[in-house]
Amino acid sequence: MKFKAKSHPYLQLIKRNFSGFVLCLIMMVITHSGFAQQWESQFVKIQSNGRLKYIADKNKNIIPDFSRVGYHQNDKVIPDVKTVIVLSATGDHDQEKIQQAIDDLAKKQPDENGIRGAVLLKKGTYKIPGSLKIATGGIVLRGEGDETKLIASGKGKRKTIMASGSGRANEISGSRIKITDHYVPVGTKSFTVASSKGLKVGDQIMIYRPGTTKWIQDLKMDQIEPGTGTIQWTPADYNLEFERVITSIQGDKITIDNPIVMAMEDQYGGGEIYKYTFEGRIAEVGIENLYLESEYKGDTDEEHGWDAISFNKIENSWIKNVTSRYFGYSCVNLGHDSKQITVMDSKCLAPKSQIIGGRRYSFNNDGQLNLFMGCYASEGRHDYVTGAKVCGPNVFYNCKSENAKADIGPHHRWAMGTLYDNIITDGEINIQDRGNWGTGHGWSGVNQVLWNCTAAKAAVQNPYVSGKNYAIGLKAKKYNGRLKGRPDGIWEGQNKAGLNPQSLYLKQVEESKK
């Protein structure tokens, strides 16, 4: 299979920005597959014309298209933003000087693409005793690679770089419309509403899937075995909202930009749509070419830098070529209101904390339509991970984990529609009922796809209702997971080389550009 990178801007981006590690990984996969007999999944096949064909189940559910995640849904290449301000490390109030440069740039009028410019930090060591805050869009904070060192100095848990807007998504009054289809399957981008009056192509809509008592009962999430602080699931906590854009309207049938990643069923309350605004959300923020390190007192010290980089209330932004070392929680932490973020070619190294819950989530994603690719983590607990009620699609692609202390995968309550593609770990990858772990995590995820991944061992289970989880071409020892008696997930081609396509994500991106 050949990718015509010249005609696909996003594939050019991948080729141009991948670290040496990821390029070596791809070459190893390609070389190895040359000696293995190729095979195809029964769920995603390659037709004679070279395009993918998705095989539906009896309810017309298919594996979703994950191609339109990350910065501007792959429609734009991450820009090379012009440097406007240049700073050098002096050891004299470095944090205040960097913050002032950010604040000064925020006053500059953005260009037609929403870009204000970049602050360049020259090689050197910058002490950051608090947090650097970016609250305005169009600002890039850039270094000169690992020799531009930001040191989270002193005591106290904190985020070293914080990029966040304000406010929240607000429903436009009177815009809520009922979805009339009795069943909206996973993977579809079209459905019928009671009326398309008042809707137009380009509208931002929220797809609303209510939590209901019957759904929770059928999932048995009102029967979690009690533990320390266990909370049974309640309907009000599981009203799910997926951000989408209308791309076509034909009568009362609308088409959206990204697929449904959790089926909507009459028996569980169906679904609705409504238009919304998010006035305070910012965009076009970049963090590039930086090394971040936290001071610490000992291997289990927790009063020091916690997140190297934190994003929230932000969209169409990026983090690339950053390295974190000695932070207690993460290199990158994307909050619930982070959308269409690309995190690439970044490393999370040698975290310092206790090795227990709530620590060492190397690359954490709680938002939607986000992409992590070409990343590396060592000594983390949950290196490529989603949190509670994470509304997909989301993608982790071509990432590696070493010296893992726990597992990769959906970690908390009910993540929906995540692709783990060519992920390699010496730890576990699990998609399971977590039972009373935490405060009663229960089912961690649904419509999760492991594609051509490698792990020491894995548990992949299907929830009782609402979808499936897939292990396709997974090279790992299969085990039962934490709790017995749960339905087995979909396993196909376990420990079998030669899966075609080698990367579902890259193939989907290629097709999206045609």
d(CA 491, CA 470): 6
Q: Which regions of the chain carry the CATH code 2.40.30?
A: 170-277
**pTM (predicted TM-score):** 0.93
Task: Yes or no: say if 311 and 337 are a contact pair by the CB < 8 Å rule.
Answer: no
What pLDDT sits at residue 35?
Answer: 63
Within 8 A by CB and 6+ apart from 195, the residues are 177, 252
Task: Yes or no: say if 246 and 256 are a contact pair by the CB < 8 Å rule.
Answer: yes
Residue indicated by tokens 């037709």? 47
Helix (H) or strand (E) holding 408: strand 407-410
Q: Which regions of the chain carry the CATH code 2.160.20.10?
A: 86-166+282-381
User: What are the structure tokens assigned to 423, written together?
Assistant: 């992920």
Q: Is 479 helix (H, G, I), strand (E, B) or coil?
A: coil
Query: What is the CATH number that goes with domain 170-277?
Result: 2.40.30
Would you give the DSSP letter of residue 326?
A: S
d(CA 22, CA 31): 14
Query: What is the CATH number that goes with domain 86-166+282-381?
Result: 2.160.20.10
Q: How confident is the prediction along the chain (514 residues), in pLDDT tens digits per residue?
A: 333 333 444 455 444 444 444 444 444 444 444 467 999 999 999 999 999 999 999 999 999 999 999 999 999 999 999 999 999 999 999 999 999 999 999 999 999 999 999 999 999 999 999 999 999 999 999 999 999 999 999 999 999 999 999 999 999 999 999 999 999 999 999 999 999 999 999 999 999 999 999 999 999 999 999 998 999 999 999 999 999 999 999 999 999 999 999 999 999 999 999 999 999 999 999 999 999 999 999 999 999 999 999 999 999 999 999 999 999 999 999 999 999 999 999 999 999 999 999 999 999 999 999 999 999 999 999 999 999 999 999 999 999 999 999 999 999 899 999 999 999 999 999 999 999 999 999 999 999 999 999 999 999 999 999 999 999 999 999 999 999 999 999 999 999 999 999 999 999 999 998 7
